[in-house]
Amino acid sequence: MVIFRKLDTISYPTALGFALTSAVWMAIATFTGLLGATELIAPDLTSAWGWLEFGRIRPIHVNLVIFGFVGPGLFSAAVYILPRLLRTSLYSERLGVLTVSAWNITLLAATVSLSLGYSQGREYAEMVWPIDVLIVVGLLLLFFNLVMTVRKREEPVLYVSVWYMLAAVILTASTFALGNVIWQPSTGALAGIPDAIILWFYGHNVFGLFLTPLSIGVAYYVIPRACRAPLYSHTLSLIGFWALIVVYTHIGTHHLLQVPVPTWLKVIAIVDSVAMVIPVMAFLINIWYTVKGKLGEIHADIGARFIFSGTIMYFFVSIQGSMMALPDVQRVTHFNNWVVGHAHIGVLGFSGMIAIGGLYHVLPLMLRRPVYSLFLADLQYWLILIGVSGFAVVLTIAGLIQGNAWLNGETVYRVLSQIHVYYVIRASLGLMIFTGALIGVYNMVGTIWFRGEASS
Amino acid sequence: MKMTPLAVVVGSLLILGAVVFVAVILPTADTSNTPASDILRPRTPAENQGRALYIANGCVFCHSQSIRNIDWDLGAKRIARAGDYLMDRPILLGSERTGPDLSQEGGEHPDDWHTAHFKNPRITRPLSIMPAFAFLDQGSRNSLIRYVQGLGLKDADLRMKRQTYWKKESVRAYEAGPEANIRWLHDMVPEGWRKLPNPYPTTAAGLARGHKIYQDFCLGCHGPIGDGMGPAQADLYPPPLNFTILKGRGITGGILYYQIMNGITGTAMPYFKRELESEKIWDVGDFAAVYFINQSDAGGDPAGIDAAYE
């Protein structure tokens, strides 16, 4: 209980805990990404260590990015922002710190178990049953804390960020349990085609109901605050929120257009993947019109700059995503690096940039002192922006080479040597992103613990 | 619209419930009566062990098991049907093809090829970027091989039967000594091919192209000097052919072409008709003939109409 007594002397321990969680796991997650990218160009590099084998590293990378880096980064901002918007304090910091600790133990368990080969082999749902349960429990604890905070609020009106944060956490707890087929502990799977349908229902909603609404919630708070302007439209907030939950949730089958699933389900997925333009543009128009004429303020606030860049990435990744759901496009783009590029624009470019931006915006508010080094934050911004834009370019090129070659009857093996050079560039860009992550850890540790005035 | 906490939480949960009903429960009901397809058979315990290792080591992240009607590569002989997957829990469709689709991998190669390939994929496939699985014990690698050789189920069994039959034949021929082995190998080539010389004369450019193909496809087994002592040799039986023993034993460009195109089922020699077009096969055949056999009939008679390009 010594820890708890000490906790009372810290302000915002939960938000700080999630912030540190995000920064540290971002470094680990981007390192595993870099390692995997390196293994694709030097496959014998790690062959002496089975636990570093590509097929084990890849799910570690993916899960740590989602649940270790971006998720907790957005949780941190949410746990700080939500009480501010409701003119109250977090319901229970102790419960919050417990959640942070449990979440970190979960991440550690996930990393170790996957590297030892304990995997259920389903994308984004690889982790074994006990870890699945821990994640659901963590989400429910967080939801309980947020809902109780809402209940003791002084502010009667719920701002749009609050809607997104509440919905994201509870809906993700539900879809995570469903998608991991949590009632089947040994396999975590259904059999045959229904397993593919439920997996991609869930896999798609990891972005649709977890990363996206949390990112949007943070952007809705930081952007108007940074440019000192009221949000452009309440109506657009409403349309964006409900349209996101209606549309985003049921189009996961666009991952299965070339698989024997019921045609009617494919039709729904294709049509409403195009309809994704409604929630996407409702949010973007709302944010961009709020910023109209105030780009200077955005540029002056490093957190807002990350987030605004994230919204531009969201535009690209969403338009691209709608196009990729068209069967004719997918004949070329499916099964190759185009999709890997798309995933990086979405998770790193959009939600990852917003998670980092959220931290840079709220940390100084929490600690009542500026960011340790604005220069380092700026450097991190450029490293990640160039890294992720470069990913988009080289992985899209590699994907087009693969997709078109395959369509022309070339075998996978023959195309490998043609994309090698893009794999090399990708790994180099990965090194930039990993460097950015290390700078982020240093800057955050500096902001929290180095008492000295920040350098600029 | 007033956004109360109840409206947000209960409202979004209700929408999610409706979506789960339409996008998960209905399609599950819709597909629950899928009839078994013609290739379906239960997996053996060894195959199931191998499948568990396939999952544990994340093979699914680079290998799909999902053949589409636009595919040409490995497995494209059969477009996937819902009934193929009835026993797959989880289903391993995959989302990326860093390596080839494995739906119909069973029986494409004999077991000894897989033994070498799992130890280090580059010793059979020099350009491969697949991880080496030497870190798994031999028993685990054998389970993986059983699983992979069962991919395609009943279709795989047919191909395996073919491999087993020709393995016996090729081993018998090998053990009868070089003279008899070469005679057997040549006799197995259809007569038209046997008498056919390489229609294109040897050129420096053609040899350079052949060299490149040899390095990308052949080196791992036949070795850098064509003596059959490539790194895969230790695991293969019958061992890879030493090209030098072909000299003076009736080798022709046509025989080389046919064996490269068609492979020698039962041995580790795969077919290359899918990966190499005709000019590449002539070029690599002539490369082996010139450098390793030292006996090339390239550009010899009977010549037809002169090729506009050689």
- Could you read off the pLDDT tens digit of each residue along chain B, which spans 310 residues? 789 999 999 999 999 999 999 999 999 999 988 999 999 999 999 999 999 999 999 999 999 999 999 999 998 889 999 999 999 999 999 999 999 999 999 999 999 999 999 999 999 999 999 999 999 999 999 999 999 999 999 999 999 999 999 999 999 999 999 999 999 999 999 999 999 999 999 999 999 999 999 999 999 999 999 999 999 999 999 999 999 999 999 999 999 999 999 999 999 999 999 999 999 999 999 999 999 999 999 987 766 777 777 6
Dump pLDDT digits (tens) for A291-318: 999 999 999 999 999 999 999 999 999 9
Q: Let me know if residue B1 belongs to a domain.
A: no
Quick check: A238 pLDDT over 80?
yes
- B59 and chain A: CB distance < 8 Å anywhere? yes
Distances (CA, A) of B180 to B193, B240, B268: 20, 16, 19
Select the residue from A114, A170, A193 to test the B interface by mutation, using most B Cβ atoms within 10 A: A193
Do residues B124 and B194 share a domain? no
Dump pLDDT digits (tens) for A215-226: 999 999 999 999
Contact A278, A272 (CB under 8 A): no
Quick check: A363 pLDDT over 50?
yes
Residues of chain A found within 8 Å of residue B64, distances taken between Cβ atoms: 335
> Which SS3 state, helix, strand or coil, does residue B252 take?
coil
Do residues B283 and B205 share a domain? yes
A453: pLDDT confidence band, cut at 50, 70 and 90?
low
Chain position carrying tokens 């990378």: A61
Residues of chain B found within 8 Å of residue A194, distances taken between Cβ atoms: 27-28, 31-32
Helices A54-64 and A13-41 pack at an angle, to 10 degrees, of 150
Quick check: A197 and B3 CB within 8 A? no
Select the residue from B60, B87, B91, B278 to test the A interface by mutation, using most A Cβ atoms within 10 A: B91
Kindly report the CATH number assigned to the domain that includes residue B182: 1.10.760.10
Residues of chain A found within 8 Å of residue B117, distances taken between Cβ atoms: none
DSSP tag of B291:
I
A456: pLDDT confidence band, cut at 50, 70 and 90?
very low
The number of beta carbons lying within 10 Å of the beta carbon of residue B26 is 15
Q: Which residues, in sequence order, are bridge partners of residue A373?
A: A455
Q: How far apart are the first and last CA of chain B?
A: 77
Q: What pLDDT score does A2 carry? A: 53
Distances (CA, A) of B207 to B203, B256, B279, B283, B307: 6, 15, 12, 6, 18
| Mean pLDDT confidence for A252-279 | 97
Residues of chain A found within 8 Å of residue B22, distances taken between Cβ atoms: 250, 268
H helix runs in A8-128, sequence order: 13-41, 54-64, 71-85, 93-115
Quick check: B31 and A410 CB within 8 A? no
Of residues A53, A123, A253, nearest to B131 (C-beta): A53
Dump pLDDT digits (tens) for A139-191: 999 999 999 999 999 999 999 999 999 999 999 999 999 999 999 999 999 99
Q: Let me know if residue B40 belongs to a domain.
A: no
- Closest alpha carbon to A183 in A223, A139, A132: A132
Number of domain units in chain B: 2
Q: What pLDDT score does B300 carry? A: 79
Of residues B57, B97, B127, nearest to A417 (C-beta): B127
Do residues B232 and B135 share a domain? no
Give me the residues of B, 271-310, that contact A with CB < 8 A.
Answer: 274-275
Contact B118, B112 (CB under 8 A): no
- What is the sign of the dihedral through the CA atoms of A171, B12, A98 and A353? positive
Do residues B132 and B86 share a domain? yes
Q: What pLDDT score does A197 carry? A: 97
- Residue ranges making up the domain that contains B115: 45-158
Q: Let me know if residue B288 belongs to a domain.
A: yes
Quick check: B56 and A118 CB within 8 A? yes
Chain position carrying tokens 């000894």: B112
Residues of chain B found within 8 Å of residue A401, distances taken between Cβ atoms: none
ipTM of the complex: 0.95
Give me the residues of B, 1-20, that contact A with CB < 8 A.
Answer: 1, 3-5, 8-9, 11-13, 15-16, 19-20
Residues of chain B found within 8 Å of residue A150, distances taken between Cβ atoms: 5
Q: Let me know if residue B205 belongs to a domain.
A: yes
Nearest CA in chain A to B128: A413
Quick check: B82 and A255 CB within 8 A? no
Q: Which two tokens stand for residue B71?
A: 């595919």
Contact A145, A91 (CB under 8 A): yes
Quick check: A443 pLDDT over 80?
yes
Q: What pLDDT score does A7 carry? A: 63
Dump pLDDT digits (tens) for A27-65: 999 999 999 999 999 999 999 999 999 999 999 999 999
Contact B286, B179 (CB under 8 A): no
Quick check: A59 and B58 CB within 8 A? yes
- Rg over CA atoms, chain B: 25
Q: What pLDDT score does B305 carry? A: 77
Q: Let me know if residue B230 belongs to a domain.
A: yes
Do residues B199 and B105 share a domain? no
- Closest alpha carbon to A403 in A338, A343, A322, A345: A338
- B36 and chain A: CB distance < 8 Å anywhere? no
Give me the residues of B, 157-186, that contact A with CB < 8 A.
Answer: none
Quick check: A201 and B23 CB within 8 A? yes
Contact B118, B133 (CB under 8 A): yes
Do residues B136 and B192 share a domain? no
Residues of chain B found within 8 Å of residue A267, distances taken between Cβ atoms: none
- B242 and chain A: CB distance < 8 Å anywhere? no
Q: How far apart are the first and last CA of chain A?
A: 39
Do residues B289 and B183 share a domain? yes
Q: Give chain A's domains with CATH numbers.
A: 2-446 (1.20.210.10)
Largest CA distance in chain B: 92
Q: What pLDDT score does A6 carry? A: 63
Quote the CA–CA distance of B57 and B59 in Å, as a whole number: 6
Of residues A123, A192, A409, nearest to B34 (C-beta): A192
Q: Which two tokens stand for residue A152?
A: 């003791």
Contact A55, B62 (CB under 8 A): yes
